[in-house]
Amino acid sequence: MRKKQKIMLVRILAAAALLIAMNFVPAQGWIRFVLYLIPYLIIGYDILWKAIKGIKNGQVFDECFLMAVATVGAIALALYEKSGDYKEAIAVMLFYQVGEWFQSYAVGKSRRNISDLMDIRPDYANVELDGRLEKVDPDEVEIGSMIIVQPGEKVPIDGVIVEGDSTLNTSALTGESLPRDAKPGDDIISGCINMTGVLRVRTTREFGESTVSRILDLVENASSRKSKSEDFISKFARVYTPAVCYAALALAFLPPLVRMIVLGLPAGWETWIYRALTFLVISCPCALVISIPLSFFAGIGGASNAGVLVKGSNYLETLSKTRTVVFDKTGTLTQGVFEVNGIHHNEIEDQKLLEYAALAESASSHPISKSLKKAYGKEIDRTRVTDIREISGNGVTALVDGVEVAAGNDKLMDHLGIPYRSCHSVGTIIHMAVNGQYAGHIVISDIVKPRAKEAVRMLKRAGVRKTVMLTGDAKKVADQVAKDLGIDTVYSELLPADKVEKVEALLKEQPEKEQLAFVGDGINDAPVLRRADIGIAMGAMGSDAAIEAADVVLMDDDPMQIAKAIRISRKCLGIVYQNIVFAIGIKLICLFLGAIGIANMWLAIFADVGVMILAVLNAIRALFVKKL
């Protein structure tokens, strides 16, 4: 509990104790008024001051103004009637502050989830200078510096491990507690906690561009992107508050004037002014203005704690309406770990064919290229390779030791006019041509992620109508993966530009109120991530393209996180709609009862503070995310 909350709690308890004690004090007249004024000012001085400041600044119609007018009016009415019953005015202010305290506590609780994420911000970096360690601010560390990360310390800046083996705790980034092994040559990202060995790391980015800085910036700015529901509530409050003030004014003066002038009856000013003051207390829009943004804030906080970073409440709202999910295959549904599991050749040896393929692909960072180089198993001598030419979506051609080598798919062979032999194996087929003659092919298979099939099933359970897979892979491979995972529709042998066209076509087929989500690895899928209604980048730790292009960033590579993200968004939106219906419904009923004289100030307190507390408590539920 923060210091401000503790002070407010003391004020609430003190005012409540004095209010109870006044029932046993036999004071009358002005002495009674002064004694009751003490608890009123203890609990309400800040509300009165805010109301005065609002009037000075021209921002009259807010909840502080409504509370001030209602309670000061009730006290003035008690003085005029000489009833000495000031309890209602003090009770209104007291319970209003109780509601504000609950709201402050709820915001603090949801902020705590984001604060937990903020704990990944490193305080220092150990820079190695002349054989000794010096603690410096991470902002001062330049690219290429050598830093030491000791056991128990946070990794301050992105880099590459030069020396040392360890395990890393990535729970602050992914929401999962499973540690990850780290060894020399591995990339390491800021925000992880080094658990065991000492690591020497060469930095590859400045602190301002590191993963931890980007994530913190993303979460801190999430509240600036408002959803349609939040915009509606803001606009509603701007119109609603002045309207009820004028309605209360009309309720205070019009009926008495009609009774006195038209009907010739006693005006009954006290009765109607009391009803107007009750009307003002009931009309205070606190429950809506506070609980709706709080629901979204809690939803974003709960999601971030589960490793799902949502860039704004507008994306949370869009995600909840998702009925079509489009997947990129490699790295999303499959591990992106390709292994050579077959070499079929004509008159050339297996190892020689693999050597040609590995050297021709030596300049590429594509997973297939990496698998070829890994299968070759020897150090690549780039001086042996010249005239490398990559044909997008087809493959590569190059001169290896002066020999013309082509490595790619069917389209590359067709492009070069080289007859090729089809293969019955399921996998990615890399056709090879040497000096313009077909030399054979290499079969490479990707590995489906362990929980991919379950993830697709969970999406269907979450209300997703259609699942689609897009891939540049061969039709036979794509169809097999789609069948194994239960994907509804698959489009294969696509170039990067074709994926955008397919998503645009799917968007046109979408019903108006439904949304389409694209899930990719965030590196080569940036155009599609931006084009979809909502882009989801998964397994995006350290990926600039993911954080920049996607609307939702899943910090783990587990496809089950997609269903979790949708479930979080729907729970949050459900809470928002519950609060809207509940708050407006109770307000309208109580306003009507107050206008006709059935509701008194105590019912007004429930209609204002009681509804707000219930709505705030309901909003807090968005913080809690069940594990799948």
Instruction: Count the residues in the chain.
Output: 628
Report how far residue 457's alpha carbon sits from residue 441's, in angstroms, rounded to the nearest whole number: 36
Report how far residue 467's alpha carbon sits from residue 478's, in angstroms, rounded to the nearest whole number: 14
Q: What 3-state DSSP class applies to 35?
A: helix
Query: Out of 158, 328, 556, 608, which one is annotated catalytic?
Result: 328
Question: What are the residues facing 202 on neighbouring strands?
Answer: 146, 160
Asked about 473 being catalytic, the answer comes back as: no
- Amino acid in the structure at residue 432: M
Nearby residues of 452 by Cβ (< 8 Å), 6 or more positions away: 333, 334, 485, 559
Q: Which long-range contacts (CB under 8 A, 24 or more apart) does 458-464 make?
A: 458/560, 458/563, 458/628, 459/325, 459/562, 459/563, 459/566, 460/486, 461/563, 462/563, 462/566, 462/567, 462/570, 463/323, 463/566, 463/570, 464/322, 464/323, 464/324, 464/325, 464/566
Answer for the pair 133, 150: CB distance below 8 angstroms, yes or no.
no
Report how far residue 247's alpha carbon sits from residue 261's, in angstroms, rounded to the nearest whole number: 20
Residue 360: other Cβ atoms inside 10 A: 27
Burial (CB count within 10 angstroms: exposed 0-12, middle 13-18, buried 19+), residue 402 = exposed
Strands, sheet with 339-345, edge to edge from the N-terminal-most edge strand: 339-345, 437-445, 428-434, 403-408, 395-400, 385-391
Catalytic machinery residues: 328
